[in-house]
């Protein structure tokens, strides 16, 4: 699985967009980009994933660069409840027992 690199921490003002970057320069053609988040003391929560096209759901948008070497998770209107650690993972499309590897993630602090 491709290694991902994320900033250790970020701040965002409540109500503003939070843009969380992720580098995955060694990503291979069959690997998707997945984003999870972990709110304090809870189990991680799936947010969104994509291969090469931009994706949007009720929680967030995912922008993947054309060369697929980096991506950005966008929370359009951050709230205090979005304070969490956000994990970016590059992972192949099949799930035949493959392991998700969670790195350190980005600790997002949303401030009033």
Q: Select the residue interacting with other proteins from 2, 12, 20, 34 (CB under 8 A).
A: 34
Q: Whole-angstrom Cα distance, residue 1 to residue 101?
A: 8
Q: Which residues pair with 9 in a beta bridge?
A: 107
The C-alpha angle 66, 52, 102, rounded to 5 degrees, equals 110
Tokens of 19: 């843009």
Q: Does 9 bind other proteins (CB under 8 A)?
A: no
Q: Does 86 bind other proteins (CB under 8 A)?
A: no
Q: Does 29 bind other proteins (CB under 8 A)?
A: no
Closest CA to 110 of 76, 65, 87: 76
Q: Select the residue interacting with other proteins from 17, 52, 80, 103 (CB under 8 A).
A: 103
Q: Does 5 bind other proteins (CB under 8 A)?
A: no
Q: Which is nearer to other proteins, 78 or 86 (CB)?
A: 86
Q: Does 35 bind other proteins (CB under 8 A)?
A: no
């Amino acid at each position: 699985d491709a290694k991902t690199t994320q900033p250790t921490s970020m701040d965002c003002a409540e109500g503003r967009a939070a843009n969380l970057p992720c580098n995955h320069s060694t990503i291979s053609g069959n690997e998707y980009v997945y984003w999870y988040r972990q709110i304090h003391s809870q189990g991680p929560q799936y947010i969104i994933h994509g291969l090469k096209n931009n994706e949007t759901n009720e929680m967030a948008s995912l922008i993947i660069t054309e060369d697929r070497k980096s991506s950005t998770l966008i929370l359009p209107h951050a709230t205090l409840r979005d304070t969490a650690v956000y994990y970016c993972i590059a992972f192949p499309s099949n799930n035949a027992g493959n392991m998700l590897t969670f790195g350190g993630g980005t600790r997002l602090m949303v401030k009033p």
